[in-house]
Amino acid sequence: MPTLVSSDDLIVLTADGRIDLNASEAALEDLLTRLEGEPGRAVIFDLRGANCALTLGEVYELVNFLAVHSSKKTLYRKIAILIASEAHRAKASFFTLCAENRGLEVKAFNAVKDVSKWLGSDASELLSRS
């Protein structure tokens, strides 16, 4: 069963609605620590509920942090990004490109059935709880 990470667990916002990169990186660090003992387990970043607009620079910083720290924490697994709509496709594709360039296996989706197919396990029940 994949590990589900919601946007609230991954993206920390400041009072004015901007991303707090330090706090978001700390959230990623916590995720990597939790996953350290579970090699090979897939991760789903459910960003359908994300209520902030990340700049490309902020997307890059998050991917870079994930890539640098994942090598230390053995996050060599599939990462599926579930987005709300095609409107978010460009930034999700940028995230994917940056992550793949750093050796991570990442793909963005906007349909739960496509996530399940790519991961090779039914994620619909897990994602219906979020």
CATH number at residue 104: 3.40.50
The HSE-up count of residue 32 (CA atoms within 13 Å, CB side) is 18
Domain that holds residue 87: 3-128
Quick one: pLDDT at residue 97? 92
Instruction: Say how many domains are in the chain.
Output: 1
Closest to 59 (Cα-Cα) out of 78, 43, 45 = 45
One digit per residue, pLDDT tens: the chain, 130 residues? 788 888 888 888 888 888 888 998 898 888 878 777 776 678 888 888 777 778 888 888 888 888 887 755 555 578 888 888 776 788 888 989 998 898 888 899 988 899 989 988 888 888 876 5
Helix ranges, 11-88 (H):
21-35, 56-73
